[in-house]
Amino acid sequence: MEHEDSERASRIPAAWRRPAWPTRLRWSARSRRYAVLALGVLGAAVAAAVLAGLAWARPHVTWQFRTADNQLTLSLAAGHGPFAGWLLSRSSVAARGHRGHRVLVGLHPGRTSRVTPTVLSVWATSSAPITVRVPPAPAVARRATTTASVAVQFSLPVTVDVAACLPSPSAAMATVRFPRGIRGCAGTVEVSAASGERTRLQVTVPALTPDPVTFFGPSRGRAFYITIDDGWFPCEPVLRLMRARHLPVTAFLISSAAGKHRRYWRRFQAAGGVIEDHTVSHPDLTKLTIAAATQQWAGAARALHAWFGTTPMLGRPPYGGATRKVLDTARLAGLRTVVMWSAVMSDGRLSTYDHRPLRPGEIVILHWVPGLYQNLSRLLHIASARGLHPKPLPAR
């Protein structure tokens, strides 16, 4: 049998035959020690290389601060090497109770904040602390509502970014004014400081509420009131009468007329006279736009203040046109009250609104025209006979 097997094996080509290996590989003790040591060194080298690659690929924290909303944004940026992308996808950042690839941290205005983010990756490590000094936000220091506007005073200069109620045009300043108009306004206003810090607040601008038209003054002490309109024909005898009798007179002047006789009106003031507003050129205000009518009042007030050092508080509309629009435009121009009249003295005759004798509280209108002195003298005679006394017209 063995002979047959040997004979069959001799017929197999030599290239196909399996080499005869030793049945058992014998290692010496020293060889085994060297092999174990080599494997250990190789494993340590591989582990060190992996750890070094991971450390090199470890992501780091980047940050950005926005003053518009006081948000500190913490993000992760990839490290280096072949593991960078893989490690970034498996890492996160944590700070002040928030965790993720991108973390938002709200900071307080006017403070210096310190944030220490932690990178959570193969192992957790703290990054360098981030110190951010947040500028103070604009704060509302005071609000005031006047006859013409609502004023909001801030703790530092601001610029209006968004406003439901349109403010007066201005550069950055600490007080923002919202003019009052015929209609009221309410809404949100956003302002920003030069640092970028922003504040949002609610503003309510009430509509103008003009006083009723004044036809009468206070009647106590049996007072009545002398008013003289226009100003085209100054009268020297009237000045002498005012000085002699300490006569209080209120002149509602057209500024274009007053500008031609400034010296006279300064003497009128020195004699005890008071100058008030009768528009720039005496138009019918009821036929003008709101803007044009407001300019008539405001332009006269500016000119009279510049020439005579007094700011008119009272206004009288030309031709007695005291509609709601006219009253509103007077308020928009800064006037306190629109003054009408209850009696007219002209051509030597006195006419009251109800055709009755002159009474306490009556406001009498005259005009700076030829014959004014005679009319004024006649008025004083009529008033004296009625036991009435001329008084200064209150600037309510």
DSSP 253-296: E-HHHHTT-HHHHHHHHHTT-EEEE--SS---GGGS-HHHHHHH
CA–CA separation, 367 and 16 (whole Å): 141
Q: State the Cα angle at 328 between 325 and 332, rounded to 5°.
A: 135
Query: Is residue 52 in a domain?
Result: no
Contacts of 186 (CB under 8 A, 6+ apart): 164, 165, 202, 203, 204, 205
Same domain as 363, residue 305: yes
Per the model's pLDDT, the better-predicted residue between 259 and 171 turns out to be 259
How far apart, in whole angstroms, are the C-alpha atoms of residue 58 and residue 180?
A: 61
Q: Do 302 and 175 reside in the same domain of the chain?
A: no
What is the percent of the chain where pLDDT is above 70? 81
The per-residue pLDDT for 211 is 57
Structure tokens at 5: 């097997």
Is 111 found in the same domain as 150?
Answer: no
Within a domain: 3: no
Token pair recorded at residue 241: 């009468």
Do 244 and 335 lie in a common domain? yes
The answer as to whether 153 is a domain residue is yes
Q: pLDDT class for 196, splitting at 50, 70, 90?
A: confident
Co-location of 247 and 361 in the same domain: yes
> What pLDDT, on the 0 to 100 scale, is given for residue 46?
60
CB 57 within 8 A of CB 83: yes
CATH number of the domain encompassing residue 271: 3.20.20.370
User: What type of residue is 356?
Assistant: R
Q: Are residues 120 and 268 in the same domain?
A: no
Q: What is the pLDDT of residues 207-242, one digit of tens each?
A: 766 556 788 999 999 999 999 999 999 999 999 999
337-384 pLDDT, tens per residue? Answer: 999 999 999 999 999 988 899 999 999 999 999 999 999 999 999 999
Closest by CA position to 154, among listed 145, 144, 164, 163: 144
Looking at the structure, do residues 233 and 316 belong to the same domain, yes or no? yes
User: Does 287 share its domain with 345?
Assistant: yes
Residue 280: predicted pLDDT: 97
Helix (H, G, I), strand (E, B) or coil at 222: helix
Q: What pairs with residue 124 in β-bridges?
A: 120
Distance of CA 95 to the CA centre of its chain: 35
pLDDT at 395: 77
Domain edge (last residue) among 94, 110, 133: 133
- Phi, psi of 12, deg, nearest 5: -80, 130
pLDDT, tens digit (0-9, with 9 covering 90-100), for 44-81 = 666 665 555 556 667 888 888 887 788 889 988 887 77
Q: Output the domain CATH number for residue 102.
A: 2.60.40
Q: Cα-flanking dihedrals φ and ψ of residue 238, to 5°?
A: -65, -40
The pLDDT score that the predictor gives to residue 23 is: 47
Domain that holds residue 104: 57-133
Does pLDDT of 21 surpass 70?
no
Higher pLDDT, 321 or 20: 321
For strand 112-115 and strand 130-133, is the pairing parallel, antiparallel, or unpaired? antiparallel
Distances (CA, A) of 346 to 64, 131, 188, 312, 379: 79, 82, 55, 26, 10
Residue corresponding to tokens 């593991």: 83
Q: What is the DSSP code string of 368-382?
A: SSTTHHHHHHHHHHH
SS3 of 296-363: the string is: HHHHHHHHHHHHHCCCCCEECCHHHCCCHHHHHHHHHCCCCEEECCCEEEECCEEEECCCCCCCCCEE
Q: Phi and psi of 336, rounded to 5°? A: -90, -40
Q: Tell whether 148 and 78 lie within a shared domain.
A: no
Query: Structure tokens of 352?
Result: 């009251």
- Tens-digit pLDDT profile for residues 269-321: 999 999 999 999 999 999 999 999 999 999 999 999 999 999 999 999 999 99
Residue at 38 is within a domain:
no
Kindly state whether residue 228 falls inside one of the protein's structural domains: yes
- 296 and 276, same domain (yes or no): yes
Q: 3-state DSSP call for residue 252?
A: strand
Q: Which of 244, 214, 243, 210 is nearest to 227 (CA)?
A: 214
Inside any domain, residue 154: yes
Q: In the predicted model, is pLDDT for residue 127 greater than 80? A: no
Which letter does DSSP use for residue 21 in this model?
-
Which band of pLDDT confidence, cut at 50, 70 and 90, is reported for residue 14? Answer: low
Return mean pLDDT, the chain.
Answer: 85
| The two structure tokens encoding residue 278 | 């009768």
Same domain, 77 and 199: no
- 244 and 349 together in one domain: yes
> How many structural domains comprise the chain?
3
Please give the Cα distance from 108 to 116 (Å, whole number). 16
Mean pLDDT of 152-177: 82
Q: Does residue 156 form part of some domain? A: yes
What DSSP designation does 198 have? E
Where is the domain boundary, 75, 101, 133?
133
- pLDDT (0 to 100) of residue 27: 58
